[in-house]
Chain A
Amino acid sequence: MGKTIAEKIFDAHLRDEPFAGTYVLDLDRVLCHEITTPVAIADLEWRGKDRVFDNTKIKAVIDHVTPAKDSKTAMQAKILRDWAHRHELHDFFDVGRNGVCHALFPEKGYIRPGFTVIMGDSHTCTHGAFGAFAAGVGTTDLEVGILKGVCAFRKPRTIRVNLNGTLAAGVYAKDAILHVIGQIGVNGATDRILEFRGPIVEAMSMEARMTLSNMAIEAGGTSGLCLPDMTTVDYLWPFIQDDFPSRESALEEYRKWCSDDDAHYEQVLDFDLSGLEPQVTYGYKPDCVKPVEEMAGSRIDQVYIGTCTNGRIEDLRVAAAVLKGRKIADHVRGIVSPATPKIFSEALNEGIIQVFMDAGFCVTNPTCGACLGMSNGVLAEGEVCASTSNRNFSGRMGKGGMVHLMSPATAAASAVAGVIADARSL
């Protein structure tokens, strides 16, 4: 019987099987940020084991609250910074060079097909877009990852999600994944791996695939994988051109990770997305999803464009195309946070930043910021935000605040209309 991509990656990285069904994997990447890593560092120090398994495979960034907003966040950043320097991490990103982890690390070429990746962050599933097994873990798993370069997982069980048809103009990866989560529910893929397949995924850019994979965790998924193809190779080419004589040879190498035709899936779900409308969430769970027309007219106070879900250059281009020549509604606060410095400079060079500013947006530095209600746009009690992020839990952007998740196009249109609005009918 054939194997899924996840099974192939597990096989190739198996260090130990201490008990039947428990797989301890060797890790290619251990990614760190300043919120979940400091406690792991402190614990390693306390145990007298302040070591790292490989300072070329561990990458670290200060991204959640940056530049620091107060003494406590300054201390978290300092703990990570001192540790990164102490162990001479090859890749550590501090203020000015830092960006949202799940946008920054792929952009640097750190994620490759067939890799195993962990991070103390639930949206680590994003990196599955490259055909890597990438999973969010807690601080203890992170700590063992840092010290030993291993992590334990259960036998991978995969749900294959076929996205069939074509997305209509004005409908994006965000709409597709919101729809899928709306259908399978926040518990629909718990402890399962999602494998995104089908013509819609094949036609997607790496940016769009990252949006898709990013939200696998919102259905409970451990990782959200896309199969490596020429789009993957093209994206990675600047980083791998010395390793391969040609793009075709890189593709041939990466293809070996692709799932076999006769691989076993726990479930196969088919979605025909040809008629899909833009999607918006309405409640406090990411599976509370409706077509935009049913939500149109809902009151908003703030619009947030950015995050690891939709803060990439393609997202900013889409939003700017909607905003160009328009002003946002008087009562709306618009905030845009390009996810990395590279994205910020591209947006600057393309005139996109000017479009946002002319429309009345506040442009922040790359950071998670308001996405988790820690800085740069926290909501007051009773306020509502139209957001391109991935999580609408009650209080996520500030106690008593409400978040509607949507695509950058819908968010931009809503900023202009002052209420939730369909970009296609602006």
Chain B
Amino acid sequence: MKKEFGGPAIFLDRSDINTDEIIPAKYLTEVTKDALKPYLLEDLTLEGFDPKGESLQQARVVVTRENFGCGSSREHAPWVFEVNGIHTIIAESYARIFRQNMFNGGMLAIELPKADIDRLFALQRSGSVEISVDLEQQNVLARSSARQESIPFEISPFDKALVTAGGWVEFADARY
């Protein structure tokens, strides 16, 4: 089933945020996705970021920099976002496995050039940002109380098909 995309955004202003920071290995003993919920980004140290804070709890979109999700193959990383209602990540680039895991789970890992990511970060300086995603038109609309940015994005037909199908298991099961 296709997921919901968009909502309030949280901004993580750093490159190379790794899977151990997203969900520490000690929680990998959990065998359900829901059990991961309280631990999202628990080990991320970043100025102004509080893993227990309200802005993370309300967030439905993450905006960040380069090579997001590098390190381990653990799908617990996308899952911990998923169970916290975050189905959309917007970054300059991703680690391959993390990116694939997002689409395999029917979620969106949108890649934008640095200039566009900079525009989103600039927008955030004028207040909290709400993002909506138009998958058909391949467009991101980001709004703060002051102004808005409309940014088109690229997505491969395969990734789009995964999102539409609800994930890779659904896609593969119907086809192979």
Contacts and interface: CB of A to CB of B under 8 A. Distances in A.
Interface in B37-89: 43, 45, 66-67, 70-75, 78
A367 interface: no
B168 interface: yes
A394 B31 contact: no
Given A18-B161, A141-B104, A187-B67, A396 B173 contact: no
Contacts of B101: 138-141
B156 A138 contact: no
A222 interface: yes
A238 interface: no
B47 to A, nearest CB: 15
A413 B153 CA distance: 52
B97 A137 contact: yes
Given A121-B73, A394-B43, A140 B30 contact: no
A26 B30 CA distance: 30
B43 A141 contact: no
Contact of B96 (A72, A73, A124, A220): A220
B97 A65 contact: no
Nearest to B20: A393
B100 A141 contact: yes
A80 B44 CA distance: 31
Interface in A1-33: 15-16, 18-22, 24
B146 interface: no
B116 interface: no
Contact of B29 (A76, A136, A150, A187): A76
B158 A190 contact: no
Interface string A323-367: 000000000000000000000000000000000000000000000
B158 A22 contact: yes
Given A138-B73, A393-B20, A399-B24, A150 B97 contact: no
Contacts of A373: 24-26
Q: Assign chain B's interface to a size class.
A: 35 or more
B95 interface: yes
Interface residues of A, number: 56
Contacts of B24: 373, 395, 399
Interface in A54-106: 64-65, 70, 72-73, 75-76, 79
A161 interface: no
B25 A396 contact: yes
A122 B176 contact: no
B21 A140 contact: no
Interface in A135-165: 136-141, 143-144, 147-148, 150, 152
Given A76-B29, A191-B96, A285-B16, A136 B173 contact: no
Given A22-B158, A122-B97, A138 B78 contact: yes
B31 A36 contact: no
A140 B25 contact: no
Nearest to A53: B176
A187 B16 contact: yes
A92 B167 CA distance: 29
Nearest to B31: A38
Contacts of B45: 394
A152 B15 CA distance: 27
A215 to B, nearest CB: 12
Given A138-B104, A140-B75, A393-B18, A18 B66 contact: no
Given A36-B75, A138-B78, A140-B168, A190 B31 contact: no
Nearest to A378: B26
B67 A139 contact: no
A187 B93 contact: yes
Given A22-B158, A191-B96, A148 B70 contact: no
A73 B25 CA distance: 12
Contacts of B173: 47, 49, 144, 147-148
- 10 closest Cβ pairs, A-B complex: A138-B101, A138-B75, A140-B104, A72-B29, A139-B75, A22-B158, A122-B73, A136-B73, A187-B67, A19-B157
Given A49-B173, A73-B29, A190-B93, 17 more contacts: A16-B175, A20-B157, A36-B73, A70-B29, A72-B31, A122-B73, A122-B97, A141-B168, A147-B173, A148-B173, A372-B72, A374-B26, A374-B28, A393-B20, A394-B20, A394-B43, A399-B43
18 contacts: A15-B176, A16-B176, A18-B158, A21-B158, A35-B74, A36-B75, A72-B30, A73-B29, A75-B31, A76-B31, A136-B97, A138-B100, A148-B172, A190-B93, A372-B72, A374-B26, A394-B20, A394-B21
Interface of B: 15-16, 18, 20-21, 24-26, 28-33, 43, 45, 66-67, 70-75, 78, 93-98, 100-101, 104-105, 156-158, 161, 167-169, 172-173, 175-176
